[in-house]
Each structure stands twice: as structure tokens, then as C-alpha cells.
Amino acid sequence: MPLLDQSLHRTEIRRLLSRLGIAYQQSGVAHEEWTERPSGEALPVLSPADGAELATVLLGAEEDYDDAVYLAQRVWPAWRDLPAPRRGLILREIADALRSSLDDLAALVALESGKILAEAKGEVQEMIDVADFAVGLSRQLYGLTMPSERPGHRIMEQWHPLGVIGCITAFNFPVAVWSWNAFLAAVCGNCVVWKPSEKTPLSAIAVHKICEPILARHGFRGVFTLVCGGGSVVGERMTADRRLPLISATGSSPIGRRIAEIVGGRLGRSLLELGGNNAAIVMADADPKLAVPALLFGAIGTAGQRCTTIRRILVQRSVADDYREYLLRAWEKVRIGHPLEPRSLCGPLINQAAVRNMRQALATIREQGGQVLFGGDAVELDYEGKPLLGGCYARPALVASPPDMPLLKEEIFAPVVHLVEFDDLDEAIAINNNVPQGLSSAIFTESLRAAELFLSPRGSDCGIANVNIGTSGAEIGGAFGGEKDTGGGRESGTDSWKAYMRRQTATINYSKSLPLAQGIQFDL
């Protein structure tokens, strides 16, 4: 239930929230919400763009979470029994509604998360694309038919929905990652309870304001439910809840490990998208016109706060000096500014704590033998000399690091990228793989042999491996996820829908005899 403090906000912000269905009264008290009086505390939502308070959200407590699960459980049998193609038609309506709200929702995502408007629009477009993907998927939830060794028998494998699943998302993709899970899970016949990040609850509320009227009109209110609450309250309750057979969670590796332990302890399933420590390998034969822009976006997109952000640029030694100059020139041209300013290429970090963590990481890099070549300082004026408020802006840093630096194994969730030199491809692959994380990776080369080796079993050990493109910006058609400390989950494309289903093998005997498998004789 958002509360709007009118003394702190421009009329444009109030109008934006109202257009997205987040209504308020003159007294500042929200109305027309799902829960009349949430039991949790009031949480101010601050924009990292200027430090302004966008709204205050009343958080849910355990009893509010239980109400959300109960609502989802109550509607699930009817949603499960609705034919999948008809579920797909409802998701088509949701896709159209998201199209109509794209600009407003993107503006809210930019204000709340700090990512530049172009990226925020891309995130909302990704939701639309996933919804369209789910519509097509509604007629392709295929099983298998297998020959039986017994005469007059047929074996088939089919898939059934799990029930009510839990989805925990992070601030850096406040709406898109939910859609990966929710739209695919829903078209498979599941309901979804969503706990968004406490840093970006307004974007989640706006999405539910778009989806809920459509589901309610068809008699399926509760297929998607939302609980804005703290991780120590709602998150812990959700992961331990046996009513939720699957928990999908996005976040850091330590948080994911904690979730996996709790969910595993009750023999539930977890789908984890955790940290990344992604490397891009630049071979001597790479095309700089292709590599440099890709490296720049991969390193500074979302101010370095993507799980797929390039953290390490591995450059073949013979061209290392050239690429150091290429990259320095590119980094110097980055326009840092307000995320709604169309010319901005890099917005703020999510909060001042993130800026402090970035500075601490740079200090550690220096202690461990690295050299800061560019950036890392706070930015108070944008590229046109206008003041940048909020204290969350920092210049993306380019660092020269030795390959044995301990910090190379850790994910710095900020725009800090290491330059590491190597001699040959085998060494580069070894450096690429020598980290606990295994999400995304890339190689830039004109050599077919090098590209194929990178993609071979001897190559990258990551869930994503790209050739001549960066580590970020995955399309929704391919399953997204990584290995090792990244959690092993797969979301969005190809057959990732199976994560939200239970597999059932069925054998049908249409003969008049009862032969047993493996030729076992059991006659009375």
C-alpha cells in the first residue's frame, strides 16, 4: 500500500504513479489496494537518481504473506484446469496491457532502480517478449511417447503444474526477472507469489496493477500475488513454506546458498540465479570496432549492477597496450547523468552503500597489486555540468590487475572491470574458469578454431558463452542461467518451462494380458 508524501514530489511523479494505477488520496494515504492494512512497517522508497522519496510503502508481515498464499491456493485448481491455450490467451492480454504502459512503467523502473531509460525500456520490452513467448508455449507443452518392451503397452511422459510457487527478485531487474518466472509458470498452470526487492517495490506494484484487472476479469484473481516485505520476515517464511513446492530466487551467492539449504531441508525445489564474475576474452585477431563497444556496454550497463556485467577483460598480451588505449578513450566518453536524461549512458548506483562498497573494493585492488587506470571517483556533475543529487553516482573504473589477484575471484557489484593479460587461449580459458561463479562469458576473435575451442567442453564452464558479443543482453529465446556458485538455474527460453512442472511417466496396457517388465514371471 504506497503512501505519497506530496511535499517531497513533483506533480509529474504523482501523475506517473497514478497512470500506473498507484492511486493516492489528498491525505497521502493510498487506496484501492489488495490489503486494507498491511501489518509491516512503513518503508520510504528513495530514488537513487536524486535521493527524493518517491513514496512510502507499507510492508507486509507474515500474516499478509499467508493471505497471499491462501488466495493463490484458492484459485489454483481452477487455473490448473483451464486449458493451457486459454491460459495463453489471457497472457496475450497482459502482453498488450504492458505494451500500452511501456513508457510509464519504464520511467518508474528508471527512477526507482537508477538504470538509464533506454535500459528500463528494454526491461519492460523483455517482459512483453516473455509474455508473447508464453503465448506460443501454451500450445507446445509437449510430452513424449516411448515404445514399451511389453506387447500391447504404451509408455508416455507428461507434465503437470506444481501448484503455487514463490518468486524472489532483486533490484537490478525489478520486473523482467519476475516475468521470466511468472509468465512461464502461469502458462504451465501454476500460481505465483512474488516478493520483490525492498529497494524497488513500486515497480512491482505497478506491474501487478497492470496484470490483476485482466486476471480478475476472467475470474482468476490470485494467479499472481504480491507481498512487499523484508527478507528476514517474508523471505524466510516463503523459503520454509511447504505450500510452495518451488522457490525461484535471484540474488547473491550467499543468499542463494541460504535459500537452497532451507528449501532443500524440506525437500522442495529451488531455481537459483545468483552471482556472476564474467570474463570477456579478447584475442589478438579480434575486431576492435566490434569488441570495444561490446566491452563498454557489458561493463557499465546498469552501472555495473547486472549479474551478467563484464567484471574481467582478458586481453592477449600482444595487443594489450592497444586495447588499454581503446578502452581508456571509450571510458572517458561515458556520459554520467540522470537516468531519465536520454543522453545518459550511465546512471547512479542503487544507493550510497553501493558507492561505499565500490570505493572499498578499489582500495583492496590497490592493496593487492592492482592499478586503477581510470575512474572510481564520485561524480557530482553530469556531462553538461548540471548537479547530480543523491550521492549515488560514481565514474566507472578501469583497473589493471595481475591474474593471481585474490579479488578477481569475487563479484564486485559495481562498475569496476579488471584488465588482465594472457599469452594464449588455453591460459585465457583457465583464467575465465578460475572463479567460483559460472554465469556468462564471451570471446572476441576472427578465428573459427578459437571460437569453437571456447565453446567446446574444454572451453568456458559458464552457462552462457558468446562469440563476438558481450556477456550481457541475452535474448529471451535461450535459457538463461549459470553453473557453480551461480546456482545452476535456467529461466526464460527453450525448455526452461519444465522447471515449473512435475514429470509423470504413465504406462497404458491396452492388451488382455499382464506381462511384466524385464521378463519377470509371477504366475499364481
Provide DSSP, 235-262: IHHHHT-TT-SEEEEES-HHHHHHHHHH
Which triple of cell numbers denotes residue 480? 538463461
- Residue of 273, 411, 421, 491 marked active site: 273
119 counts as catalytic: no
- Residue of 188, 307, 392, 462 marked active site: 307
307 counts as catalytic: yes
Classify residue 482 as exposed, middle or buried by CB count within 10 Å of its CB (0-12, 13-18, 19+). Answer: buried
- The pairing of strands 153-161 and 144-147 is antiparallel
Classify residue 192 as exposed, middle or buried by CB count within 10 Å of its CB (0-12, 13-18, 19+). Answer: buried
Classify residue 497 as exposed, middle or buried by CB count within 10 Å of its CB (0-12, 13-18, 19+). Answer: buried
Alpha-helix residue ranges (DSSP H) falling in 301-414: 320-332, 352-367
Length of the chain: 524
Which triple of cell numbers denotes residue 224? 499472481
Closest CA relative to residue 74, chosen from 219, 181, 260: 219
- The pairing of strands 191-195 and 164-168 is parallel
The residue assigned the cell 503465448 is: 135
Is residue 407 within 8 Å of residue 365, measured between CB atoms?
yes
Backbone angles phi, psi at 464, to 5 degrees: -125, 130
E-strand spans in 162-222? Answer: 164-168, 191-195
Say which residues have a Cβ less than 8 Å from residue 199's Cβ, sequence separation at least 6: 45, 112, 113, 171, 350, 351
Q: Known catalytic residues?
A: 273, 307
